[in-house]
Amino acid sequence: MKPFIFLDRDGTLIVEKNYLDDPAGVELIDGAARALRWLRAAGFGIAVITNQSGVGRGYFDIARVDAIHARLRELLAADGASIDAIYVCPHTPEENCMCRKPRVAMLEAAAREHDVDLAASFVIGDNASDIDCGRNAGVASILVRTGYGSSLEREIGPRADFVAGSLLEAAQWILRSRGIVLESLT
């Protein structure tokens, strides 16, 4: 079994663009690729778990989401980083599906498909649905202040295991908490 980092996409890994529907608009948050390189070097698998209600609302289709994810993978690869998998909930909140965060079906799918050790894993995100998803699955959760995180910190920060300024700072905290020396990963 392997520990994983479960990342929210918008506002955590890439800049929040509010219903991003154009691959050209994908922009990595500063330090995100370096954080993923460090986490990968420390033995973590990496998966993106993202609610994309724009599909269910008819703003764009799943092919457009796939194109955005292809662009995301391309940008990460250009900076020496990668992800193992991407899990998407295309439903609106009103559909009450089992995959939409804060529910845990995306984490459970990843656990089955990648032999994930959930107890040793982390969820990182900028919204209550991310933090609560981690808590609901028994996975440590980290709120990042990028995206919506800074405006929601007062409300949801106490529910998180840690609050970080960014994905890079979250990665540093994870590695320190595991006794991993950052200098050995650069």
Q: What is the pLDDT of residue 184?
A: 57
CATH class of 4-80+92-185: alpha beta
- Let me know if 8 is a catalytic residue: yes
Q: What is the pTM of this model?
A: 0.96
Q: What is the pLDDT of residue 181?
A: 78
Contacts 24+ apart (CB under 8 A), 24-32: 24/71, 26/68, 26/71, 26/72, 26/75, 28/72, 28/75, 28/76, 28/79, 29/146, 29/166, 29/167, 30/166, 30/168, 31/166, 31/167, 31/168, 32/76, 32/81, 32/166, 32/167, 32/168
* Choice among 10, 126, 130, 132 that is catalytic: 10
Q: What is the pLDDT of residue 121?
A: 97
* Choice among 8, 126, 130, 132 that is catalytic: 8
- Let me know if 30 is a catalytic residue: no
CA pair distance 49, 134, nearest whole angstrom: 11
> In this structure, how many other beta carbons lie within 10 angstroms of the beta carbon of residue 1?
12
Q: What is the pLDDT of residue 183?
A: 67
Where the chain has pLDDT below 70, the residues are 182-186
Q: What is the pLDDT of residue 53?
A: 97
Local structure of residue 19 (DSSP, 8 states): S
Q: What is the pLDDT of residue 180?
A: 85
